[in-house]
Chains A and B, each alone.
Chain A
């Protein structure tokens, strides 16, 4: 029990350190203890919102990935690869095109898009004999490409200036962080992670097998609905704010399992904390490497995630 507290403390310390680092460095390096007026403005209006948004997005995607993997018994389940992120992206775009006057239309439609994509990919992947790793991945590919084509059709309606920022956003981009927009992402990240963690013991049985879980007392349908809903909220709010940052939900839970084993009571909350640190650091890299220009953070996470995916696929097959 004590070692768990130590691990948790170490993870939180890592997160805190990466946040401080991310706030200090950038196209303008900020000497945190002697700021002039302009630097203070950069700090509170730009840097802090962006770093906290990155933390919220990372926590959301990693926790959702960890829970979906256990629920679907598939280490390759990941919001981006299942098409869930694209569902949320399409919802966000619909809100942008049709309800641009309502700020809250975006996360709400993003949640709806994520939820619908989750339900569709689940139905497609499920067969009478259960759900193979490959079948789920293929269903994710189909849903992803189908949604992508609709997104492309919608982007054709946009003018050229908006098109560039949208393309960037689709790849996962945190540069649009606003001084207030990060609040609801952080709130959703914390609430969603708590809900997913509350189901961790059920997930431990579901990870072994759906029938096993049912036989030993898990209300499988109810738990599945809770996990799908909470992960759609997490992915929806994250994508509405930052686009589809891919592979976070694959990389982070994998590393957390390597370090702490498969118990979801550790894996889900620790993935949230580690995911926050991971995206904060990835985004710091994305905006400092070629400063003052920057990469979309999703390109950085995909560079790490795609090789890991291939490794995991070979091992699972």
Chain B
């Protein structure tokens, strides 16, 4: 059996003596979408940063393609993992094309100009994300939904085996949320990418995830297929609210409905 794209083994993370994460273990295979859910402050973003080498675990090990991440340089990591983070506004007029090309940093020399290969990859992903008409525009002129697509295009242009997405659909309207997830799903299927996605939208998670990781209070509460993880008991224990779980009659996926008392 080939190595997993990503494997976390018994990860614990501490910040200034306080334990943020404890004994988290899971892996991601090629073509698999794993969705990370949990309450605010549960340590989801910290877990993502740990999986990407940005946070050093107090104990445990992160493996990328079977290699320990602590032995890898930033460039080596960036060739294997591309991140879509909650984006911040830049103060400089960076064009969409320049922004997407930034995703190619690890592929060509840190000095000098991008190669033709870099340009081709950037154009391909701008097309895939429907951004060609914006390529010369400044990032600051775009709407939230358009910017989020540019951030995804940059991650895809990096041609990594693994995508990590931190709330890629925050601030997006319904149609853009669906579009975003469909793009991610399609890329994972056609290119065999693995993805680790943080989201608060449990129904999106249910519809798109192969695997859901539920974290609460820094511990892994459940891990498995959506139908296994998204139970009323699990969600009650993490979020402290009652939910109704049933099947969505139109697509057969799990449906989570909040019960307001």
Contact = CB atoms under 8 A, between A and B. Distances in A.
Given A212-B85, A217-B106, A198 B91 contact: no
B105 interface: yes
**Most A-side CB within 10 Å, residue of B54, B81, B98, B110:** B110
Contacts of A70: 92
Contacts of B99: 208
Interface in B136-167: 154, 158
Contact of B82 (A214, A216, A261): A216
Q: In which size bucket is the chain A interface?
A: 20 to 34
B105 A207 contact: no
B36 to A, nearest CB: 17
Contacts of A212: 83, 85, 102
B68 interface: no
Interface string B72-107: 011101110111010110111111001100110110
**Most A-side CB within 10 Å, residue of B73, B74, B98:** B74
Interface string A191-226: 000000011011011011101101111110000000
Given A201-B105, A219-B73, A209 B91 contact: no
Q: In which size bucket is the chain B interface?
A: 20 to 34
B91 A75 contact: yes
A193 to B, nearest CB: 14
Contact of B78 (A215, A257, A261): A215
Contacts of B87: 209
A14 interface: no
A211 B85 contact: yes
**Most B-side CB within 10 Å, residue of A130, A205, A208:** A208
B260 interface: no
Contacts of B106: 216-217
Nearest to A73: B91
A106 B78 CA distance: 43
A75 B77 CA distance: 30
Given A215-B85, A217-B79, A219-B73, A257 B102 contact: no
B85 A217 contact: no
B17 interface: no
B52 interface: yes
A215 B83 contact: yes
Nearest to A74: B91
**Shortest Cβ-Cβ A-B pairs, 3 listed:** A217-B78, A217-B106, A215-B83
